[in-house]
Amino acid sequence: MFWTKAFIPTLKEDPADAEIVSHMLMIRAGMMRKLGAGIYTYLPLGWRAIRKVEGIVREEMDRAGAQELLLPILSPAELWRESGRWSEYGKEMMRLKDRNEREFALGPTHEEVITGTVRGEVRSYRELPVCLYQIQTKFRDEVRPRFGVMRGREFTMKDAYSFHRDPASLDDYYKIMHEAYTRIFRRCGLDFRAVLADAGIMGGKVTHEFMVLAASGESVVLSCPAQGCGYAATTDTASGAIPACAVAGDEPLREVHTPGRKTVEEVTAFLKVGPECVIKTLIYEAAGAPVAVLIRGDRDVNEAKLQNALACINIALADEAVIRRTTGAGLGFAGPVGLRGIRVIADHTVKGITGGVTGANKTDYHLTGVREGRDFTVSGYHDLALNREGDGCPRCGAALTAYRGIEVGQIFKLGTKYSESMQAVFTDEDGAAKPFVMGCYGIGITRTVAAAIEQHHDRDGIIWPLSIAPYHVEIIPMNVGDEATMKVATDLYAALGQRGVETLLDDRDERPGVKFKDADLVGIPYRVVIGPKGLAQGKVELKSRGSKETQLLALEGAAEEIALMVRTALDKLAG
RNA sequence: CGGGGCGUAGCGCAGUUGGUAGCGCGUCUGGUUUGGGACCAGAAGGCCGGCGGUUCGAAUCCGCCCGCCCCGACCA
């Protein structure tokens, strides 16, 4: 491609509304433009990078035995009612009505559609396992779209669904997919980790997220530094030993006046005790019913764990009216002692507390000297705490360390959640109708591109991994007015093209500085400068983006040499 | 949805006693330049987010709406 013919609108300045590097660079390098919050137009350069990632994903999915198909974006509400997610999915799902007031969803994910597709078509265990995938646009009405393509409302995703005869077959295939994902992200040139995760609304128990390591990542991973342990999990799902606190004195239960002290911070400052003495009491609403959740005052509740403990997806902190109704007190004075007519569950950190501080269920009063077991009991203890750095590894006990990551993929063992609710069954060897055992496997394509930029850039711009770069080589003729220079440039361009090297030739009549700046910004891995310095010796200058040194290549055979370099580097990434 | 901020030329921004709008970059023309975002001269480009109000007069004051960004609860 010749730059003068290409649509690559680069910008000198950072866009005002971009916060993170990948977002700024994708705009500045002319890869995309914003149309609305979380909605982007992909310009040719951005689209090429996206298609590179898609290509790698396709190759690896095919290698793993999956077959590509294309499901519709628009799906009737009926299908979602079958699985229960029409109501369960909540506001995140984009919904619309047709002219006859029939309801539809814009697919945020496709378990229902694929299950509806396979159901009735795959009838025998002999046809299993089967895995189908698509690369397609997904819609999610995110509460807060942000960070460019990282959290968009419309984004490209690869989603695969596998159907199995039994859990053992799913287990085998899950491993194959795990391996395929590892190959994909390695080929994309990413530094990543597979970590244990929470299944959330997808259902199922076993799931891993693939995290690209980046300080700008929205996910936090807790991992075990101990040699040979290997435990790593997102904070949504991580468990870990929380250090016990010294048991406070065994004072009698006493009511104290704590006017206006609502938060743990205010109460502990007022009573001159540590936050670990407080039994924090949060009133949640789970499927409309209030639940009191207790946790030690120095800890926070992990809502993903709470959802699992309550087996309820729609949970939220109750508003003040509900709190008043259930506790008889204003916000900030709830406590488990004497709390009636409401389910009370607690995190393990609450067990055995003596001399504790809790709300008195009476506005402006707290209780001190509270003893678990004597003054109150709970209906169950669960792991509800948000773990953090320093907590003990659940496998080996070593202190966990934390790092941030961008979630680019997730694989799930769904089990029979969808096949059962949607009556998708096959006939097994014994003649019995059984629900498919399912797995599903997602990759955020557009997010992967952004993650790659987060990991590969410098002050001047993007430094593409060769495998996903929009072009392999950029040729910069120093003086486009000079016939000899242009002859060398266009000959090299043609020779590289013949050898399958994707090349961009910056034939703009611009000063060198402008072209160099844009070349750095756009980040094509190899740059060939054709100018008087080299030509005087019959040579061209080759430089890798991101490296300082330039090497001179003899004009003769330059195309051959560059093509070989590109091929070798790509092969190396492909493993 | 709650809290904070912003909407003025393609992009980045200025614009306070209220008097019909400016700077830098980019674009176009001409010239001089040409190894890391050149210089000179000239030019084009604005329903000042929208609607309503106050006023002789509104980018500026008031109200409502829309859009965008950031901070808190979600997920590929």
| Distance of A14 CA from B54 C1′ (whole Å) | 40
Q: A124 and A26, same structural domain?
A: yes
Same domain membership, residue A355 and residue A327 = yes
pLDDT digits (tens, 9 = 90+) for A482-492: 999 999 999 99
A481 touches strand B (CB under 7 A): yes
Is any atom of strand B within 7 angstroms of residue A531's beta carbon? yes
In this prediction, residue A285 carries a pLDDT of 85
Q: What is the pLDDT of residue A468?
A: 98
The answer to whether residue A211 is domain-embedded is no
Verify that A434 and A505 share a domain, yes or no: no
Helix (H, G, I), strand (E, B), or coil: what is residue A91?
helix
Q: Distance (Å) from CA A83 to C1' B42?
A: 69
pLDDT of residue A247: 62
Q: How far is the CA of A145 from the C1' of B16 (A)?
A: 36
HSE, CB side, 13 Å, CA atoms: give it for residue A279: 36
Our measurement of CA A332 to C1' B71, in angstroms, reads 23
Q: Whole-angstrom Cα distance, residue A70 to residue A60?
A: 17
**Among chain A residues 362-391, those with CB within 7 Å of any atom of strand B:** none
Checking each nucleotide's C1' against the CA of A516, the nearest proves to be B36
pLDDT of residue A381: 93
**A427 is written with which tokens?**
């006939």
CATH of the domain at A138: 3.30.930.10
Q: Find and give the residue nearest to B33, measured CA to C1'.
A: A511
Within A 442-471, residues with CB less than 7 Å from strand B: 442-444, 446-447, 460
The reply to whether A344 and A475 lie within a common domain is: no
Q: Which domain holds residue A507?
A: 471-574
Of A437, A443, A465, A405, which is closest to residue A232 (Cα–Cα)? Answer: A405
ipTM higher than the 0.90 cut: yes
Q: Which nucleotides of B are covered by protein (CB under 7 A)?
A: 1-2, 11-13, 24-26, 33-38, 67-76
Whole-number Å distance between alpha carbons of A370 and A277: 9
How far apart, in whole angstroms, are the C-alpha atoms of residue A538 and residue A555?
A: 6
Say how far A33 CA is from B51 C1', in Å. 29
What pLDDT is recorded for position A482? 93
CA–C1' A57–B69 (A): 33
The answer to whether residue A238 sits within a structural domain is no
CA/C1' separation A37–B20 (Å): 34
Q: A430: Cβ under 7 Å from strand B?
A: no
DSSP string computed for A449-471: HHHHHHHSEETTEE---GGG-S-
Choosing from A333, A366, A382, the residue where a domain stops is A382
The answer to whether residues A430 and A339 belong to one domain is no
Check whether residue A301 and residue A432 sit in a common domain: no
Chain A residues 20-49 within 7 Å (CB) of strand B:
34, 36-39
Both A368 and A420 in one domain: the answer is no
- Nearest nucleotide relative to A478: CA against C1': B35
Is A335 part of a structural domain of the chain? Answer: yes
The pLDDT, as a whole number, for residue A329 is: 87
In a domain, A236, yes or no: no
Q: How far is the CA of A406 from the C1' of B27 (A)?
A: 39
Domains identified in chain A, total number: 3
pTM of the model: 0.94
Tokens at residue A133, please?
């995938």
Distance CA A489, CA A480 (A): 9
Q: Which nucleotide is closest, CA of A199 to its C1'?
A: B75
Whether A166 and A61 map to the same domain: the answer is yes
- A240 in a structural domain: no
Number of Cβ atoms within 10 Å of the Cβ of A394: 19
Reading chain A (575 residues) residue by residue, the pLDDT tens digits are: 999 999 999 999 999 889 899 999 999 999 999 999 999 999 999 999 999 999 999 999 999 999 999 999 999 999 999 999 998 888 889 999 999 999 999 999 999 999 999 998 999 999 999 999 999 999 999 888 989 999 999 999 999 999 999 999 999 999 999 999 999 999 999 999 999 998 776 667 789 999 999 998 989 999 999 999 999 999 988 989 998 876 656 788 999 999 888 888 888 888 888 888 899 999 888 877 889 999 998 888 888 888 888 887 778 888 778 888 888 888 888 999 998 888 999 999 999 888 899 999 998 999 999 999 999 999 999 999 999 999 999 999 999 999 999 999 999 999 999 999 999 999 999 999 999 999 999 999 999 999 999 999 999 999 999 999 999 999 999 999 999 999 999 999 999 999 999 999 999 999 999 999 999 999 999 999 999 999 999 999 999 998 999 999 999 999 999 999 999 999 999 87
Nucleotide nearest to A209 (CA to C1'): B76
Q: What is the DSSP string of A146-197?
A: BTGGGB-SEEEEEEEEEEESSHHHHHHHHHHHHHHHHHHHHHTT--EEEEE-
A276 is near strand B: CB distance < 7 Å: no
Q: Are A186 and A452 in contact (CB under 8 A)?
A: no
Flag whether A4 is in a domain: no
Residues A515 and A553 in one domain: yes
Amino acid A93 CA to nucleotide B48 C1' distance, rounded Å:
37
Q: Does residue A185 share a domain with residue A49?
A: yes
Predicted confidence (pLDDT) per residue in A230-276, tens digit? 999 999 889 899 988 766 567 889 999 998 888 888 888 888 888 88
Check if the beta carbon of residue A506 is closer than 8 Å to that of residue A475: yes
> Hunting for tokens 């299950």 — which residue is that?
A115
Answer whether any strand B atom is within 7 A of the Cβ of A549. Answer: no
| Domain-embedded: residue A206 | no
Same domain for A330 and A260: yes
Q: How many of the other CB atoms lie within 10 Å of CB of A381?
A: 16
- The CATH number given to whatever domain includes residue A328 is 3.90.960.10
| CA A37 to C1' B46, whole Å | 25
For residue A531, which nucleotide's C1' is closest to its Cα?
Answer: B35
Token pair of A150 as six digits: 């990282």
Distance separating alpha carbons of residues A6 and A45, to the nearest angstrom: 9
Tokens standing for A537?
Answer: 């010796």
A483 and A447 both lie in a single domain? no
Query: CB < 7 Å to strand B — which of 145-174 in chain A?
Result: 145-147, 150-152, 155, 157
Query: Per the domain annotation, does A266 fall within a domain?
Result: yes
In angstroms, the CA of A469 and the C1' of B16 are apart by 51
